[in-house]
A and B are shown apart, each in its own frame.
Chain A
């Protein structure tokens, strides 16, 4: 079962969490209270299976201690990477889950949104084995990996940001509280009314043919934005009311003028995760091997591999592979075009080019169509009414 935003229980928990956390000004009390809220939520979804999840967290806590404090950190890191990746593959491919005998874990992995937990776990593990932060205590481990308001569809908070957030956030005034409530309502309205309307009016889920496919391709992008950004609106609003840092995930992606710009506006927390954990390490490794020569080639290879893996994170099926290829290729071409433009026009010329309104509108339209096309590749992932 996924997080059900239409459930009164969810909103009762949000209200209770806000009422409990708001007056707490003692850092440890706040962390305990938020952990209790997360446990209550997980209990509501998992019931007895929560005990298994807690056992896994205790084991993970032990491994992270070894990772952060012992010379055997490489072994500990390898165990975390191998086990979490195996669970990820099992989560994505039920046939593999059956083969390796973890099919019974599938409902649990779905319920906690394991794809997102997996990325948080990698981010946290890296921070620990690189000694940027000490291993988290059990409360931080639970609150970082399984924050109830970010389980459904992210955002993916960086472990650095989780650690950096104030232990006791400043109190909200009436205006700030109202703005956050408006954000939540906006999210609900986007998901349950606007996305619903777009689906009901424009989407035929591949049943329509001919020129209408083009319309459907565009409207699927519109629908996905409304639905997906709605989750982020709700998460940011709920997190803000509780005083729990929750990163922004969208910044008007329709205004993107190229695919690089798009990925800085769409699912921002995932883009930043990719940059931190895939692109930079791959690019750095390639640059070292080539002693700094061929920087554009190294960047291109790093971008392409990063987005192939990004596609694999979304789904281990051919459509997601092609989605990764399309995005990777788009980003590489965009990067090369930008470098060429800089060389040809110079800094002043590029500024003039960027300020040109017709070019801007054309670029926005092309980007919109390209993104809509890539989404169409994976549109069968979503579908149906419930």
Chain B
């Protein structure tokens, strides 16, 4: 990609990092929820085969 394109799209970098931050936040939220449930020590178990 040429420098000209980069200059004309100054928000591209921001959008990328915003999306990355959102993904990381979503990972953190889901992990936090998992940890809360695990700490309760009460999960339905699958006995496997």
> In the complex, what residues of A have CB within 8 A of residue B37's CB?
192-193, 196
Known contacts A6-B38, A185-B31, A188-B30; A385 and B45 CB within 8 A of each other? yes
**Could you mark each residue 3-40 of chain B with 1 if its beta carbon is under 8 Å from any beta carbon of chain A, else 0?**
00000000000000000100100010011011001100
> A385 contacts B44, CB within 8 Å?
yes
Known contacts A178-B23, A199-B44; A113 and B49 CB within 8 A of each other? yes
A153 within 8 A of B: yes
Return the chain A residue nearest B46 by Cβ. A227
Interchain CB contact (< 8 A) of B30 among A116, A193, A314, A385: A193
Return the chain A residue nearest B35 by Cβ. A192
> B33 contacts A385, CB within 8 Å?
no
Report A221 CB to chain B, min CB distance, Å. Answer: 14
Interface set, chain A 209-233, CB cutoff 8 A to B: 223, 227-228, 231
> A385 contacts B38, CB within 8 Å?
no
Complex CA gap A152/B44 in Å reads 15
Known contacts A181-B27, A185-B27; A192 and B45 CB within 8 A of each other? no
Per the CB 8 Å criterion, the residue count for chain A at the interface is 35
Interchain CB contact (< 8 A) of B48 among A153, A313, A384, A385: A153
Return the chain A residue nearest B33 by Cβ. A193
> B48 contacts A2, CB within 8 Å?
yes
> B42 contacts A182, CB within 8 Å?
no
Complex CA gap A195/B37 in Å reads 11
B43 within 8 A of A: yes
A189 within 8 A of B: yes
Report B22 CB to chain A, min CB distance, Å. Answer: 12
B2 within 8 A of A: no
A99 within 8 A of B: no
A173 within 8 A of B: no
> B33 contacts A116, CB within 8 Å?
no
**Could you mark each residue 344-386 of chain A with 1 if its beta carbon is under 8 Å from any beta carbon of chain B, else 0?**
0000000000000000000000000000000000000110111
Complex CA gap A385/B23 in Å reads 32
Interface set, chain A 126-167, CB cutoff 8 A to B: 152-153
Complex CA gap A178/B38 in Å reads 23
Report B25 CB to chain A, min CB distance, Å. Answer: 12
Q: How large is the interface on B (under 10, 10 to 19, 20 to 34, 35 or more residues)?
A: 10 to 19
A contact patch SS? helix
> A384 contacts B34, CB within 8 Å?
no
> In the complex, what residues of A have CB within 8 A of residue B27's CB?
181-182, 185
> B47 contacts A382, CB within 8 Å?
yes
> A6 contacts B48, CB within 8 Å?
no
Report A204 CB to chain B, min CB distance, Å. Answer: 13
> B46 contacts A185, CB within 8 Å?
no
> In the complex, what residues of B have CB within 8 A of residue A46's CB?
none
Complex CA gap A153/B34 in Å reads 20
Complex CA gap A315/B34 in Å reads 30
Interchain CB contact (< 8 A) of B46 among A110, A182, A382: A382
> B48 contacts A196, CB within 8 Å?
no
Return the chain A residue nearest B20 by Cβ. A178
> B45 contacts A113, CB within 8 Å?
no
> A182 contacts B23, CB within 8 Å?
yes
Report A8 CB to chain B, min CB distance, Å. Answer: 10
> In the complex, what residues of A have CB within 8 A of residue B44's CB?
195-196, 199-200, 203, 223, 227, 382, 384-386
> B31 contacts A113, CB within 8 Å?
no
Interface-centre pick from B31, B33, B37 (highest chain A CB count, 10 A): B37
> B31 contacts A384, CB within 8 Å?
no
> In the complex, what residues of B have CB within 8 A of residue A315's CB?
49
Enumerate chain A interface residues (CB-CB to B < 8 A).
2, 6, 110, 113, 115-116, 152-153, 178, 181-182, 185-186, 188-189, 191-193, 195-196, 199-200, 203, 223, 227-228, 231, 313-315, 381-382, 384-386
Q: Assuming A189-B33, A191-B43, A385-B43, what are 10 further A-B pairs, CB within 8 angstroms?
A: A115-B49, A152-B48, A178-B23, A188-B34, A189-B31, A192-B43, A315-B49, A381-B47, A385-B45, A386-B44
The 8 residue pairs across chains A and B that have the minimum distance between CB atoms: A115-B49, A189-B30, A199-B44, A192-B34, A386-B45, A6-B38, A192-B37, A188-B34
